[in-house]
Structures are given as C-alpha cells and as structure tokens.
Chain A
Amino acid sequence: MNRVQRTLHDSFVEAERHLRVIPRNIELLIFATIQPIMFLALFAYVFGGSISIPGFDNYDQFLMPGIFSQSLVFGSAFTSIGLAEDLSKGLVDRLRSLPMSRSAVIIGRTVSDLVRNLLTFCVMLTAAFLLGFRFGGSTFDAAIATGLLVLFSYALSWVQALIGLAVSSVEAANSAGFIWMFPLTFVSSAFVDPSTMPKWLEVVANANPFTVVTNAARALYNGLPVGNDAWISLLWSVGLIAVFSMIATRKFSRSTSS
C-alpha cells in the first residue's frame, strides 16, 4: 500500500466509524433536522412580510438560499466537537500510535460531517419546496449552487478541525466552534441586502467570503447572472482547504490527550 492508498483507505475507515453511529443517536438526528426547518419557517414567516429586496418580488426566493448557506456553515461545527471528543477520551493517543495516515483522522471526520450535512440539506430543501421555494434556473444550475455551498461548508470543517484540536475540552470546542459563525453569517448578504447596513459594516459584509458564496448560490438557484462570484467562492473554498488541512494535520501530529 503506498502513501496515497493508505491515506484513502484509512480516511474511509475513519469516515465509516462516524457514519455508522449516526442512526444510533436518534435524538441528535431529529434535532439536527428540526433546526434548519425551524430557521426556514421562522425567517420566512417572521421577516417575510416586512422585508423587501430590490430585484426579488418574493423575499423567500432571496432568503432561502441564505438559510441553506447558513445551515451548512453551522453544520461544520460538528467537526470541532467530534475531534475534541476523540481527543478528550484518549482515542487520539491510540490513533497516533497506529501505523495509519496522520491526515486520515481529520479527513475521515470532515468527510463524515459532509455526508451528515448533505442529509440535513436534503431535508431542508424539501421543506423549502413545501414552503413555496422554486428553482428559477435549471436543475443543473441548482446543483452547482448546492455544490458551492457544500464545498464551502467542507472548507470550514477544516477550520473547525483546527479549533477542535486546539481547545482543551469538548465544551470549549462547542463554544469556540459556534461563536464566530454568528458574525460570519449575519454580517453578510444571507438575510438582508448589505447596502442597508452602516457603511463600515457594508464593507465588511461585502468582503465576507460567506457573502460571496451565498450570492453565487442565490444567483444560480434563481436563474440570475452569477458573474464572478462562483469562481471567487470556489477559490475561497479551495484556498481554505489547502491552508487549514496543512495546519490542522500538523497540529494533530503533535497533540496528545494530556
């Protein structure tokens, strides 16, 4: 087995370990499903009537891609919690003493979280359709939009991996993994048009990669011109994965339980 084969094999074994247990935690599965549906319904009914966005006659068509985007990004927090859990239970010491690929532990974790996020996304998309959401462009465009969102969420999983390895407890991972998600997703174009924000905040919102990804997905879901947003969001995701996979893998090789 060469290096690449070994990394693939070990990552697969690790991902399987996490996926195998998803059906065993029914409560977690239920809450992970309810949360995005609740967000969809709350935002659509609470804000739906009072917010109007230029270029969109229906706020739902603007809002729902933003909520897809936010939910997928929130889903990446599973990665930091899961890794911190393995670390706190001493399992990581065992893994580091095995003749296995170092990066496979994190690849397996991020990939299994990606699968879990996709499942949640399918539920959410179904709910959105029931609430009246429709694709404005082709199904292919919608698939590209989904791909961009999922890839960005996967990229953030690597950031979360580093957080999970850096903090000292599962509780800390829970807070540290979630806290920055709020400014990241709210100071953006997900829920409102940034031009309605104070000037300085608008600058921040427009520079936010989350805005770029959300704009790209929103344009594609609605069949509107996407411009360069698709390429730029792809670059953001690939760049984040490249940088954080390197740092997180290095961090993993050095971390022990105590």
Chain B
Amino acid sequence: MTDQFAVEMRGVVKRFGDTVALNGVDLVVPPGAVYGLLGPNGAGKTTSVKVLTTLIRPDAGTACIDGIDVVAQPDEVRRRIGLTGQYAAVDERLTARENLVYVGRLFHLGTSESRKRAGDLLERFDLMEASDRVVKGFSGGMRRRLDIAMSLIANPSVLFLDEPTTGLDPRSRLGMWDVIEDLAADGTTVLLTTQYLEEADRLAERIVVIDHGHVIAEGTPDELQSRTGGALLQVSIARAENREVALSVLSPMCSGRVEVRDDRTFEAPIIAGDRVVPSVIRALDDAGVDVLDVVVRRPSLDDVFLALTGHAASTDEVES
C-alpha cells in the first residue's frame, strides 16, 4: 500500500471525568514527514501523543501507526515507535551507555546488538565523551539527547517528541533543533508537539494547530501565516495634517483595512513579498507626504493563533 500513513487518527475522543481532552481529533502524517502539533497548554497535544503511543486508550475513534491499530495490537505498535516525553525518561543512576543498552534489550534486540547500536547512537548524538558517566551529572540538554537516542535504538518508524525543548536553556534548545533537523534529513517520521510557535515554524514541514481538543487548522508554516493576510505594514509620517492624504494613498495598496494607530502611524496587512515597500514610499512621496519610517513585520505564529482562535496562544489551563 503506497498511501499508508505513518500516523493516522480519526475522530479520536478522550475524556478525563468531565473534562473532554480530545474532542474528535483527525490527524494524518505521511511516512518521512516532520509534523508539528501546536497548541497551548491543555489543548490536547500530550493526550494525543499518549493515545498514539498506547499509554492511554481512546474513548472513541481510531488511532493507527503504520496502519496498525493502537488498541487492537498495542505490542505491534510499541515495536514501531519511539517516545521522548516531556520529562527526560532516563535512569539517572545508570551511565548513558547502560541506559541505551537497557532499552535496546527491552526491545529484544539482544545484548550484543544493543551494545553496537548504543555505540553508534552515542557517537551520533555527541555523547561519546560522557558515555560511561552516570547520567545524574548530565546537563538538561545532554539528558534530552540521550532520551532521544534511547527512543531511536530500535529504529522506530515514527518518533514522538513531546515538547522536546521545554525547560531547556536557549543554547541547548538550538542544539536540540539541530538534532531534530538531522533526524528529519535522515527521513525519520517525526510528530513533535510544542507550544513554541518559533519551534514549529523552524522544524515542521506541516503544522497542525490544536485547541480545546480540536484540530483548528493545518498547513505549512507559510500557509498558516498567510491566513492573517500576509505581512503587516507600518508607516509613520512626519505631520499629522497629512493624515487623510496618506490614508487615501495607502488604502488601495494594502490587502486589508488600514488602521490608524495615532495621527501619524498607520498599520495595514499586505501580501508578503509583493515589493510593496518601494511603491508605498514613492506614492506617499508623490502625494507630498513626508515619510518618517516604513516597517514590514512578518506575522509570528502567535498572530496566526490569535487569528484562528480569537484568543492568545498562552493560556494557563493545565494539561491533564
């Protein structure tokens, strides 16, 4: 079957008591793709990952990995997945190498094969120097790298990364992004969850936006950004009495309504990449308006989230 999805969720519902964590989630990831599941805390990201990795059973709907149902054949699914959760799931009393061999043996790879793969992974994740040190003294970034290496020991068809950079310092976060980009380049199918819009933008080829247990949008980062009407143009003029003239010049050039911030500052959506800035400056100049400043701001995914949901991406709901 050529059109088999690596990950497939259809109408998945999960309730915890009165709380509906997933309210009919549909999601497909083709093999080899890196998908980002984006949403605020409590949106249902972690719950989706837990359903797909057989940690919890859905109340309704179906979820499959490589076409294998997670409820009907959990062990077959477990053989094909790697999971890196929100907490670095390592045994900190063991060394990095021991952690890897340990998980390899629990995948029933045999001790010698586990050792061989452990060596390869330590090399690949830049942990060779620390390989025989106890994990307790590792930095957050090293733990996460080890954690991902442990998830990869059985060559999974799908790797789940649940908020892989939460709690990391900025430098470790950049390092982790490099690791994930390398995985993507190797053709590993990755489903990562994140509440960092920048992270999804950088790593994922497609983003699935989830909110209150629903998928509310899906597309490439560019497609999602264009939903807010592209980029935002900000123009400041020198004299307030030119306000009406400037407004009449700008209006036909922009893709949406021109907002007047104060008497001398205007904001309007434009189609990004239209080389609109030189034309705006020229037109205003021709109309005799003195321009102080012109800025084009590409929308952040925060803007996208606001446009899609009507509320900001950061809520203080707690994910169950």
* Interface positions of A (Cβ within 8 A of B): 1, 6, 9-10, 13, 17, 20-21, 24-25, 86, 89-91, 93-100, 256-258
The 9 closest A-B pairs by CB, nearest first: A90-B87, A94-B89, A99-B78, A21-B93, A90-B89, A97-B83, A97-B53, A100-B106, A99-B79
Give A198 Cβ to nearest chain B Cβ, in Å: 46
A20 pairs with B87, CB closer than 8 A: no
- Can you list 24 residue pairs at the A/B interface with Cβ under 8 Å? A1-B108, A9-B108, A13-B105, A13-B106, A17-B91, A17-B98, A20-B94, A24-B134, A25-B93, A86-B91, A89-B89, A90-B87, A90-B88, A93-B55, A94-B103, A96-B55, A97-B53, A97-B54, A98-B106, A98-B107, A99-B107, A100-B106, A256-B56, A258-B46
A91 pairs with B89, CB closer than 8 A: yes
**What is the CA–CA distance of A257 and B162 in the complex, to the nearest angstrom?**
13
**What is the CA–CA distance of A54 and B92 in the complex, to the nearest angstrom?**
52
Cross-chain pair count, CB within 8 angstroms: 72
Give B204 Cβ to nearest chain A Cβ, in Å: 22
Contacts of A10 in B (CB 8 A): 106
B134 pairs with A97, CB closer than 8 A: no
**What is the CA–CA distance of A91 and B103 in the complex, to the nearest angstrom?**
11
B83 pairs with A93, CB closer than 8 A: yes
A17 pairs with B55, CB closer than 8 A: no
A24 pairs with B102, CB closer than 8 A: no
Contacts of A89 in B (CB 8 A): 87, 89-90, 92
Q: Which residue of A lies closest to B151 (CB)?
A: A94
Q: Which residue of A lies closest to B53 (CB)?
A: A97
Q: Which residue of A lies closest to B87 (CB)?
A: A90
Specify which of A20, A91, A97, A258 is in contact with B90 (CB 8 Å cutoff): A91
Q: How large is the interface on B (under 10, 10 to 19, 20 to 34, 35 or more residues)?
A: 20 to 34
Q: Which residue of B lies closest to A16 (CB)?
A: B102
**What is the CA–CA distance of A45 and B46 in the complex, to the nearest angstrom?**
58
In the complex, chain B residues 82-134 whose Cβ is within 8 Å of any chain A Cβ: 83, 85-94, 98, 102-103, 105-108, 134
Contacts of B134 in A (CB 8 A): 24
* Interface positions of B (Cβ within 8 A of A): 46, 50, 53-56, 75, 78-79, 81, 83, 85-94, 98, 102-103, 105-108, 134, 150, 319-320
Specify which of A1, A9, A90 is in contact with B86 (CB 8 Å cutoff): A90
Q: Which residue of B lies closest to A17 (CB)?
A: B102
Give B50 Cβ to nearest chain A Cβ, in Å: 7
Specify which of A6, A13, A93 is in contact with B102 (CB 8 Å cutoff): A13
A93 pairs with B85, CB closer than 8 A: yes
B85 pairs with A257, CB closer than 8 A: yes
Contacts of A25 in B (CB 8 A): 93
Contacts of A257 in B (CB 8 A): 85, 87
Give B279 Cβ to nearest chain A Cβ, in Å: 53
Q: Which residue of B lies closest to A100 (CB)?
A: B106
**What is the CA–CA distance of A17 and B46 in the complex, to the nearest angstrom?**
28
Q: Which residue of B lies closest to A94 (CB)?
A: B89
For B85, B98, B150, B319, which residue has the most chain A Cβ atoms within 10 angstroms? B85
A94 pairs with B98, CB closer than 8 A: no
Contacts of B319 in A (CB 8 A): 258
Give A231 Cβ to nearest chain B Cβ, in Å: 39
Contacts of A98 in B (CB 8 A): 78, 103, 106-107
Contacts of B85 in A (CB 8 A): 90, 93-94, 257
A97 pairs with B94, CB closer than 8 A: no
Q: Which residue of B lies closest to A90 (CB)?
A: B87
B108 pairs with A97, CB closer than 8 A: no
**What is the CA–CA distance of A13 and B46 in the complex, to the nearest angstrom?**
29
A24 pairs with B106, CB closer than 8 A: no
Specify which of B46, B83, B105 is in contact with A94 (CB 8 Å cutoff): B83
B94 pairs with A17, CB closer than 8 A: yes
**What is the CA–CA distance of A6 and B106 in the complex, to the nearest angstrom?**
9
**What is the CA–CA distance of A90 and B144 in the complex, to the nearest angstrom?**
13
Contacts of B102 in A (CB 8 A): 13, 17
List 8 other contacts, CB 8 Å, given A21-B93, A97-B83.
A1-B108, A13-B105, A17-B94, A21-B94, A89-B89, A99-B106, A100-B107, A258-B46
